[in-house]
Structure 1
Amino acid sequence: MRFVLAIVAFVVAAVMIVAGIAQRTVFAPPSQLTATANVSGDARYVVIAGSALNAHTGQQTLSVTGAEDPAAQVVAIGRTDDVTAWLGTEKYVAVGYDSTTGSLTTRMVTPKADSGSTSTPSPGATAGATEGTSSSAAGPNPTGSDLWLEEYDGQDAQVTRMNIPDGVSVLVASDGTKPAPSTITVTWPVDSSTPWAFPLIIGGLVLLVIGIALYLWGLYTHRRSRGPRRKSGPKMPKLPKAPKYKPTSEVETTPRGRRSTRRARVIAPAVLVGALTLSGAGATFADETPTPTPTPTPTSTTTAVPKPANQLPPAVTVPQLERIIKRISVSAANADAKADPNLAKQRFTGAALQLREANYAIRAKKADQPALPAIPSDPIVLSLPQATDSWPRTVVAVIEMPKDAEGKDQAPQALTLVQDSPRDNYMVEYAISLEPKAKVPNLAPASIGAAAVRPDSKLLALPPNQVAAAYGDVLMNGDQSKYASLFSADGDTLRTAVGAEWKAQQKAAVPATASLTFTSAVGPNPDVAMATNDSGALVWVDLQETQQLKVVEAGAEVNAGPTAAALGVASSKTGVETTFGYQLAFYVPPAGSDAKITLLGFAQGMIGAKEIQ
Structure 2
Amino acid sequence: MRFVLAIVAFVVAAVMIVAGIAQRTIFAPPSQVTAAATVPADTRYVVIDSAVLNAHPGQQTLSVSGSKNAKTQMVAYGRTADVKAWLADQKYATIAYRAGDSAVTVKTVTPKSGATGSSGAASTATPAPTATPTPAPTGAATTQAAAPGPNPAGSDLWLDEFDGQDAQVTKMNVPSGVSVIVAGDGTAPAPDKIVLTWPVDTSTPWAFPLIIGGLVLLVIGIALYLWGLYTHRRSRGPRRKSGPKMPKLPKAPKYKPTASIEATPRGRRSTRRTRVMAPALLAGVLALTGTGAGAAFAETSTPTPTPTATSSAPHGNGNSPAPAVTAPQLERIVKRISVAAANADAKNDPNLAKLRFAGPALQLRDANYAIRVKKADQPALPAIPAGPLELSLPQATDSWPRTVTAVVKMPNDATGKAQAPLALALVQQTPRDNYMVEYAIALEPNVKVPNLAPASIGAAVVPPDSKLLKVQPDQVAAAYGDILLNGEKSKWYSSFDLTDDKLVAQVGASWKAQEQARLAQQFGQTSTLTFAGRVGAGPVISMATNDSGAIVWVNPEEVQLHRVTEAGAQVIAGATTAALSGVAQSNTGIESVYGYQLAFYVPPAGSDEKVRLLGFAQGLVSAREVP
Decide: shared fold, TM above 0.5. Answer: yes
Larger Rg: 1
Residue in 2 that maps onto 1:574: 588
Q: Shift of the alpha carbon at 1:113?
A: 2.5
Q: Shift of the alpha carbon at 1:253?
A: 7.4
Given residue 171 of structure 2, which amino acid in structure 1 is its aligned partner?
R
Which of 513, 516, 519 pairs up with 2:529? Answer: 516
Residue in 1 that maps onto 2:553: 540
- Is contact 2:544–2:551 with CA below 8 Å preserved after alignment? yes
Q: Shift of the alpha carbon at 1:75?
A: 0.5
Q: Shift of the alpha carbon at 1:225?
A: 2.4
Q: How does 1:178-577 map to 2 (within 5 A)?
A: 178-230=188-240, 270-274=273-277, 309-510=318-519, 511-567=524-580, 568-577=582-591
Matched position secondary structure for 1:566: helix
Given residue 149 of structure 2, which amino acid in structure 1 is its aligned partner?
G
Question: Distance between the aligned counterparts of 2:258 and 2:204, measured in 1?
Answer: 83
Distance 1:129 1:66, change over 3 A: farther
Residue in 1 that maps onto 2:254: none
- Is contact 2:395–2:459 with CA below 8 Å preserved after alignment? yes
Cα shift readout 1:436-459 (whole Å, capped 9, x = no counterpart): 121111111111111111001111
Q: How does 1:90-109 map to 2 (within 5 A)?
A: 90-109=90-109
- Is contact 2:461–2:544 with CA below 8 Å preserved after alignment? yes
Question: Distance between the aligned counterparts of 2:307 and 2:16, measured in 1?
Answer: 42
Cα shift readout 1:510-533 (whole Å, capped 9, x = no counterpart): 231111111101111110010111
**1:583 is aligned to 2:597:** yes
Question: Distance between the aligned counterparts of 2:6 and 2:279, measured in 1?
Answer: 38
- Is contact 2:422–2:443 with CA below 8 Å preserved after alignment? yes
Matched position secondary structure for 2:593: strand
**1:155 is aligned to 2:169:** no
Task: Name the stretch that deviates more: 484-493 or 130-139.
Answer: 130-139
User: Structure 2: any 5+ residue segments left out of the alignment?
Assistant: 116-122, 250-256, 284-293
User: Structure 1: any 5+ residue segments left out of the alignment?
Assistant: 240-246, 281-287
Q: Shift of the alpha carbon at 1:229?
A: 3.2
- Is contact 2:111–2:128 with CA below 8 Å preserved after alignment? no
Matched position secondary structure for 1:178: coil
Matched position secondary structure for 2:614: strand
Residue in 2 that maps onto 1:50: 50
Matched position secondary structure for 1:70: coil
- Is contact 2:487–2:493 with CA below 8 Å preserved after alignment? yes
Given residue 346 of structure 1, which amino acid in structure 2 is its aligned partner?
L
Q: Shift of the alpha carbon at 1:553?
A: 1.5
Given residue 47 of structure 2, which amino acid in structure 1 is its aligned partner?
V
RMSD: 3.5
Matched position secondary structure for 1:170: strand
Q: Shift of the alpha carbon at 1:273?
A: 1.1
Question: Distance between the aligned counterparts of 2:417 and 2:381, measured in 1?
Answer: 17
Task: Name the stretch that deviates more: 109-118 or 522-531.
Answer: 109-118
Distance 1:305 1:41, change over 3 A: closer
Cα shift readout 1:198-218 (whole Å, capped 9, x = no counterpart): 111111111111111221122
Given residue 573 of structure 1, which amino acid in structure 2 is its aligned partner?
N
Q: Shift of the alpha carbon at 1:232?
A: 6.2
Q: Shift of the alpha carbon at 1:231?
A: 5.5
Matched position secondary structure for 1:313: coil
Given residue 611 of structure 2, which amino acid in structure 1 is its aligned partner?
I
- Is contact 2:175–2:311 with CA below 8 Å preserved after alignment? no
User: TM-score scaled to structure 1, two decimals?
Assistant: 0.89
* % identical equivalent positions: 65
Question: Distance between the aligned counterparts of 2:457 and 2:61, measured in 1?
Answer: 29
- Is contact 2:593–2:621 with CA below 8 Å preserved after alignment? yes
**1:175 is aligned to 2:185:** yes
Q: Shift of the alpha carbon at 1:137?
A: 0.3
Question: Distance between the aligned counterparts of 1:89 and 1:515, measured in 2?
Answer: 58
Q: Shift of the alpha carbon at 1:590?
A: 0.8
Q: How does 1:129-168 map to 2 (within 5 A)?
A: 131=135, 135-168=145-178
- Is contact 2:112–2:127 with CA below 8 Å preserved after alignment? no
Given residue 366 of structure 1, which amino acid in structure 2 is its aligned partner?
K
Q: Shift of the alpha carbon at 1:271?
A: 2.4
- Is contact 1:106–1:130 with CA below 8 Å preserved after alignment? no
Question: Distance between the aligned counterparts of 1:89 and 1:273, measured in 2?
Answer: 95
Distance 1:564 1:151, change over 3 A: same
User: TM-score scaled to structure 2, two decimals?
Assistant: 0.87
Given residue 160 of structure 1, which amino acid in structure 2 is its aligned partner?
T
Cα shift readout 1:51-87 (whole Å, capped 9, x = no counterpart): 1000000000000010011111010111111111111
Task: Name the stretch that deviates more: 223-232 or 194-203.
Answer: 223-232
Matched position secondary structure for 2:555: strand
Residue in 2 that maps onto 1:114: 114
Question: Distance between the aligned counterparts of 1:137 and 1:321, measured in 2?
Answer: 32
